Structure 1
Amino acid sequence: MTDSPSSSVRRARKELATRLRELRKDAELTARALSVAAGWHESKTSRIESGERLVSDTDVRIWCRICGVSELADDLVAVSRDVDAMYVEWQRQHHGGLRRAQAARAPLYERTRHMRVYSSTVMPGLFQTPAYAGSLLSAIASFRRVPNDVEAAVEARTARNRVLHEGDHRFCVLMEESVLRYRIGDRETMRGQLEHLLGVMSLPSVAVGVVPFVTEERPVWPVETFTLFDTDRAHVETLSAQITVTAPGELGLYARAFEELAGISVFGARARATIVSAMGAPE
């Protein structure tokens, strides 16, 4: 795997920073001269050109105007927004509550033909029951200190998950065995969730694999939860943010990790037996 799922974000930000620095040099301006003309401290120019600082739409337009290339501003603003969208803090996504973020993903789910999901922590959203989703989202809202609109968020997530039964979609979902045993909600919530998982596994569009606690050799350690949407993007979930990966090299690494994790997973009857075992685990 990569050293950090945010490396593609850093690279994209660096490329934009390099482009802005080149525009300044082409205009034969020093960093100090540009800073004075823009009305900001020279350290801001330095941070922008090093890629350390996110650049705002206004900053880009001022930069282009000073460099005499205002005609490039719209294109560079679009690039800047793309970079900004690659790394979206959960706090920013959820500042008005959880429902909007759930609904916002629906179009992506609907247009994706082949979705591959790996989860090392909780039941993938595609398979969550309303009770399980409610317990999980309540904990998220509390931890992130955002408005608690859990009931509406659960409804949005449930509506989004209709893709399991509609259209020409294929889903391959891998989860660590620990996901089956981590307690989210009460005992009945977990039992209902595992029963639902057994039912979902019968859908012709769905393949579910469980990575056992014990394997002879493990080529990939438990990593962060990630979802591959066809072959052109991945979402990686960290504690603080959702990161969108689009760089072909990094997508290849996530695809390879998924294949190797699938190689040590159990499917079919063995996966069902593992789920049933988790349902009967002692308290």
Structure 2
Amino acid sequence: MPTQPSSSIQEARRALANRLREIRQDAELTALALAKAAGWERTKVSKIEHAARPPSVADIRTWCRVCGAEDQTEDLLAALRDVTGKYVEWKRLQRGGLRRLQEQRTRVIEQVHEFRIYSSQLVPGLLQTRQYARAVLAVVNRQNQSTRDDLDEAVAARTRRARLLHEPGRRFAFVLEEAVLRYRLGGPEVLAGQLEHLLAVMHLPTVSLSVIPFTVSRDAFTLANFSMYDQSEVRVELLSAAVSVTAPAEIAMYQTEFAVMARMALAGQAARELITSALEDLG
């Protein structure tokens, strides 16, 4: 029996199908009229719009041309690439082991000059202590039922990545929810060491770290953790996979939301006080 695609993949396919349907409806074309103008079989449009059949690159180009929406072609093609080629399951990535995955991520970040990350769940990898990284990667191992025993090597590879924080010419902006300071991954002692490390890295000239307090009046929802690599890519972390977003319109949405989150966050001394308070509450 063939493996069923994950619900997350199906969700991405449905989102693309919905965008194509909206373009057709905005053009005031029926599905039959679009199929006829494109020279397709009469059921093809319906199958694409119900995510029962994935569109090809040629299909999207034809769809946009017939609907007079050529200006949306590149965004839709980027979304198609996200669905078909840039949706990477964690289990597949981890066939080579956690260490290999960490080294691959380091190579990607090495090419980045402006790195922005929003986190609602855990301290980002670049800021993690060795003990905190071990606790995080142990959870990843369990969730994905990894059979490779390379946790020590993976922890070392992740923590070595922190050298990038000290390289001039780079800019790292981190926006954390206050909950990140409170979740006791690894236990109180591990979290205490991690919070002390955050206070130290805040003094680095390449680092901007701010925290959204529980008490702020919000005008945005908490989101899944996401990272922004210059202006070219956004990486969203899900339980089952990492989604790479490259469509310009979608990247713009994440840029907007990151700016909204940053405006709600406290920086400088106010952020240090929040971290210190969380540290003191650990006893």
Deviations, residues 107-134 of structure 1 (Å, cap 9, x unaligned):
2211111111000000011100011000
Residue 30 of structure 1: how far off its partner (Å): 7.0
Residue in 2 aligned with 1:171?
A: 172
Give the 3 Å change call, closer, same or farther, for CA 118–126 of structure 1 in structure 2.
Answer: same
TM-score (norm 2): 0.73
Take 2:256 and 2:200, find their aligned partners in 1: how far apart are those partners?
A: 28
Residue in 1 aligned with 2:252?
A: 252
* Secondary structure of residue in 1 paired with 2:126: helix
Q: Is the 8 A contact 2:192 2:282 kept in 1?
A: no
Residue in 2 aligned with 1:133?
A: 133
Please tell me the residue identity of whatever aligns with 2:180: V
User: Does residue 84 of the first structure (1) align with residue 89 of the second (2)?
Assistant: no
Residue in 2 aligned with 1:22?
A: none
Please tell me the residue identity of whatever aligns with 2:221: W
Give the 3 Å change call, closer, same or farther, for CA 9–252 of structure 1 in structure 2.
Answer: farther
Q: Is the 8 A contact 1:9 1:83 kept in 2?
A: no
Give the 3 Å change call, closer, same or farther, for CA 48–250 of structure 1 in structure 2.
Answer: closer
* Secondary structure of residue in 1 paired with 2:224: coil
Please tell me the residue identity of whatever aligns with 2:232: D
Take 1:11 and 1:197, find their aligned partners in 2: how far apart are those partners?
A: 39
Q: Which moved more, 1:106-115 or 1:253-262?
A: 106-115
Residue in 2 aligned with 1:43?
A: none
RMSD: 3.4
Equivalent residue runs for 1:140-159 within 5 Å: 140-147=140-147, 148-159=149-160
Residue in 2 aligned with 1:99?
A: 99
Take 1:271 and 1:193, find their aligned partners in 2: how far apart are those partners?
A: 15
Residue in 1 aligned with 2:25?
A: none
Q: Is the 8 A contact 1:132 1:184 kept in 2?
A: yes
Q: Is the 8 A contact 2:90 2:242 kept in 1?
A: yes
Equivalent residue runs for 1:50-129 within 5 Å: 52=52, 83-129=83-129
Q: Is the 8 A contact 2:13 2:83 kept in 1?
A: no
Q: Is the 8 A contact 2:182 2:278 kept in 1?
A: yes
Please tell me the residue identity of whatever aligns with 2:215: V
Deviations, residues 125-159 of structure 1 (Å, cap 9, x unaligned):
11000110001101110121013321111111122
* Secondary structure of residue in 2 paired with 1:214: coil
* Secondary structure of residue in 2 paired with 1:190: helix
Residue 10 of structure 1: how far off its partner (Å): 5.3
Identical-residue share of aligned pairs (%): 41
Residue in 1 aligned with 2:193?
A: 192
Q: Is the 8 A contact 2:14 2:50 kept in 1?
A: no
Deviations, residues 163-194 of structure 1 (Å, cap 9, x unaligned):
11124100110000000010011222111111
Q: Mind listing any 5+ residue stretches in structure 2 that lack a counterpart?
A: 1-7, 21-35, 56-78
Residue 95 of structure 1: how far off its partner (Å): 2.9
Take 2:258 and 2:81, find their aligned partners in 1: how far apart are those partners?
A: 29
Give the 3 Å change call, closer, same or farther, for CA 131–252 of structure 1 in structure 2.
Answer: same
Residue 89 of structure 1: how far off its partner (Å): 1.4
Give the 3 Å change call, closer, same or farther, for CA 201–9 of structure 1 in structure 2.
Answer: farther
Take 1:92 and 1:202, find their aligned partners in 2: how far apart are those partners?
A: 38
Take 1:112 and 1:127, find their aligned partners in 2: how far apart are those partners?
A: 16
Take 2:233 and 2:252, find their aligned partners in 1: how far apart are those partners?
A: 10
User: Which residue of 11, 16, 28 maps to 2:16?
Assistant: 11
Please tell me the residue identity of whatever aligns with 2:264: I
TM-score (norm 1): 0.73
Please tell me the residue identity of whatever aligns with 1:253: M
